[in-house]
Amino acid sequence: MFSLAHTNPTPTVNQLLLLVPLLPLLGSAVVYLLGSKAHALAGWLAVLFSAASFAVVLQLFLGLGDGVYAAELWKWFAVGDFSVSLAFRFDHLAAVMCLVVTGVGSLIHLYAIGYMHEDSNRPRFFSYLNLFLFSMLLLVLGDNLLLMFVGWEGVGLCSYLLIGFWFKEMPNAQAGQKAFVVNRIGDAGFLLGMFCIILLSGTVNFEELRSASAGWSTYWKEIIAGLLFIGAIGKSAQIPLFVWLPDAMAGPTPVSALIHAATMVTAGVYMIARLSFLYEGAPMVLMIITVVGTVTAFVAATIAIVQNDIKKVLAYSTVSQLGYMFMALGAGAFSNGIYHVVTHAFFKACLFMGAGSVIMACHHEQDMRHYGGLWKKMPFTFVTYLVATLAIAGFPFLSGFFSKDQILWTVFSNQGMPANIHVWGAVRLSHVCWGLGLVTALMTAFYMTRSLAMTFFGSYRGHAHPHESPWVVTLPLVLLAIPSAAFGYLYGESLLHYLGAWTRPDMLDHDALHANPLYHSLELISIGVALGGIALSLLFYTQLTGMPARISARLPNIHRFLEHKWWVDELYDALIIRPLRKVSDVLFAVVDRLLIDDALVNGSALFVEANGEVARKMQTGQIRLYSTLMFLGVFFMIVFYLLLRLVPL
């Protein structure tokens, strides 16, 4: 079952493991340096390097068995007793993540060739994409927290670079900056948590931490887990730091698919799963994670319902699905969280790329009110989008159904968790979370079907002449739609067991849970909710098309509230940004202008100048004066010396 026995990797395997992150890094450098010499080639080179990395991962995965591959490049640094290695570690968890990152990543690279074919900065774009893959693989493969943090910052940097890829438009540059700054708040938490860990145990290596953390008091575990969770909140766009993700949609659509849906935003989930041994001992934090995840899932879903920009719908949907993942983590079902990461990567990447395909066809129109009836014109995009929509909506026996259902069930039956506070009568907190999760599932089915119906059904309302995208775009769509549909049914259980071997602290015994008779009733409820949402949405957006407008006219306040995203941006603006601006203005006027500029910088210059005015009078240019002064000086020195000798002190 759970074993740490190294499979004694041969040197060849070591070198293979090093290739996984180094190939995309090499690709990034090559593509960037070739630059304008290889406009047409850039995308294909990038695909080549990421696909090669995927091939290596696949090779390693097939040979992994129950063991662990480890490879050390060199000792990074050592300060006193504290030393960090530049080392990689390939275990079950890392294997699953690497497969998703490189596999889905390669498909998105391929897709980007089609999506970016008109852009004149393709080499820069593909270089950044490969650099992102490298950072993400560093994050996933690093065998210690510090190396993970390097990757963590690396993906943040690439996210910033790629959101603002079209930086000549002001909103894009601002969105990139917003993402960077908001992530920074989370990173501060991550860093503080890491400092605490170093303080307590003097190591950041995951395997050493696993044994070291056993000796920590619950108090410290809660603090460290909480601080690291702040980092996860930032990176994975949870409340209250979710505001950057919807704005990040300013980037090119392949970036939204790769970074802001499939991989980077799941880094927080991965980090918590990686440190599951630590979170296991921090029940309060687990409860907070559950609540944060639930509220995020719910809030984001309500916003998604009223958005008209297709990418915004998908962005809020991503935030919402990330909330589900955190619900699972909070319930102690770490492998369920990763399970949803995997399925979500499939269907959300597929949805984003489908949206991108539609956006391309409609000449960069993103408003769904100007779509419609595209199913005939774009059959491949339509079918794949349909499959992915059904998957995320939780249509029975598609992969989203399995992973989401598992999460709802684990949250409901959250045994042994402190989340079991009685909220009201016999109702426990976990039941409330489950209920909200179920409502969210209903809304998810509703808004996803809404986007499907507004885009592909009815008649075309725009002015472009949409046509199906080229094969580089549709091939990745098809390749992602297949696992979106079938992965959960075919491999769901085996994935859970595969991960369970590593994230042993899954506090839930899956087999026992599934034996519970309640499980199947809840499953039926979920199916009903999903089908109900889909049906309701189809009714509203294909049959009774006047209905949504009438409802929003009846409830103008709620509609406006949701349309303005719960006024969160405005709230932050009023509470944080504007007071900060005011403080900065005062600091600028007083500290910067008066104190530093005037008093310190100009003041010292004035002081030196005034003294110089006096001292320059001595510089007459007359050698006689200089020599006289020198002789007098020497004379008095000698006199002084003699006096000292004569009059001993």
- What residue ranges bind another protein (CB under 8 A)? 615-624, 627-628, 631
b/e per residue, 169-180, with b = 16+ CB within 10 A?
Answer: eeebbebbebbb
Nearer of residues 215 and 621 to another protein, judged by Cβ? 621
Between CA 355 and CA 349 the distance in angstroms is 10
Least Å distance, CB 630 to another protein, is 9
* Long-range CB contacts (within 8 A, 24+) of 114-119: 114/360, 114/469, 114/470, 114/472, 114/473, 115/252, 115/253, 115/254, 115/356, 115/360, 115/473, 116/43, 116/252, 116/254, 119/252
Nearer of residues 364 and 617 to another protein, judged by Cβ? 617
Least Å distance, CB 642 to another protein, is 15
- Residue 616 makes CB contacts below 8 A (sequence gap 6+) with none
Nearer of residues 217 and 628 to another protein, judged by Cβ? 628
Nearer of residues 65 and 621 to another protein, judged by Cβ? 621
Token pair, residue 628, equals 């006289």
Cis omega (within 30 of 0) on the bond before 240?
yes
Nearer of residues 623 and 649 to another protein, judged by Cβ? 623
Nearer of residues 364 and 616 to another protein, judged by Cβ? 616
Least Å distance, CB 644 to another protein, is 21
Least Å distance, CB 619 to another protein, is 3
Least Å distance, CB 601 to another protein, is 25
Least Å distance, CB 614 to another protein, is 10
Between CA 215 and CA 314 the distance in angstroms is 43
Q: Are 408 and 438 in contact (CB under 8 A)?
A: yes
Nearer of residues 195 and 631 to another protein, judged by Cβ? 631
Nearer of residues 81 and 613 to another protein, judged by Cβ? 613
Least Å distance, CB 639 to another protein, is 15
Q: Are 224 and 193 in contact (CB under 8 A)?
A: yes
Nearer of residues 181 and 634 to another protein, judged by Cβ? 634
Least Å distance, CB 617 to another protein, is 7
Which residue has tokens 């010396």?
A: 641
Between CA 324 and CA 318 the distance in angstroms is 10
Radius of gyration of the chain (CA): 30
Least Å distance, CB 615 to another protein, is 8
Token pair, residue 368, equals 């769904």
Least Å distance, CB 645 to another protein, is 18
Helix, strand, coil: what percent of the chain each, to 5? 75, 5, 20
Between CA 76 and CA 147 the distance in angstroms is 10
Q: Are 448 and 393 in contact (CB under 8 A)?
A: yes
Nearer of residues 11 and 612 to another protein, judged by Cβ? 612
- Residue 487 makes CB contacts below 8 A (sequence gap 6+) with 342, 343, 346, 399
